Structure 1
């Protein structure tokens, strides 16, 4: 597997995938391109190849300071999704939930909906 950021970040297959995904502009000479490839390889541990490889930053918490008496709109302004869109969206939500990026919430607990 190439998804070894936390167990083996310099796994050759993982490094090869990172190098494959990073696009280098045509304005670099071949020597410069090789220098960039070497640098990318040496920093392979900072690249996440999937959402599940993103690690939380310790102490980083999003805590907006919104007064208790402020009311936001909770009306959803969204057109219905087509079947393929719904399938894709649900897959992405599952991926983000499994990675711990988002969590389920009961509709009554929603305080604000972004358009």
Structure 2
């Protein structure tokens, strides 16, 4: 869905994509080679960082919510530790800088949900 803008098929980039992808061990050697070849062929659709994510022209995301639906706007956020807060603010700033998210005015907020930071297992 998303494409990279410069050298999407550069061998070192393709190698990094393959390094980050887990291919099941239930495939034969031939099937694994086919999967790797397919990934290399379509390397331009993989984002190695948030900064590589691009909007898809014409794509629209719509939530089918009843017009009169009511959601909680009271914040029930568990306090974050200083390291958690720094981590979250850095991630939010990256998403703001790359236009993945945009700020909104308090009056535009229709629903809130607490932020949960989960550590990856790998």
TM-score tier (shorter): 0.7 to 0.9
Deviation at 1:13, TM superposition (A): 1.1
Aligned to 1:74: 73
Q: Tell me the alpha carbon deviations over residues 25-44 of structure 1, each in whole angstroms, 9 at most, x when there is no partner.
A: 11222222112111110110
The answer to which structure, 1 or 2, has the higher relative contact order (CA under 8 A, 6+ apart) is 2
Equivalent residues, number: 111
> Quick one: distance in 2 between partners of 1:94 and 1:54?
15
Aligned-residue CA RMSD (Å): 2.1
TM-score normalised over the length of structure 2? 0.77
Gaps of 5+ in 1: none
TM-score normalised over the length of structure 1? 0.81
Alignment of 1:55-94 (within 5 A): 55-64=54-63, 67=67, 72-94=71-93
What is the DSSP-based 3-state SS (H/G/I as helix, E as strand, rest coil) of the residue aligned with 1:37? Answer: helix
Mark the structure with the bigger radius of gyration: 1
Aligned to 1:96: 95
> Quick one: distance in 2 between partners of 1:66 and 1:74?
17
Aligned to 1:43: 42
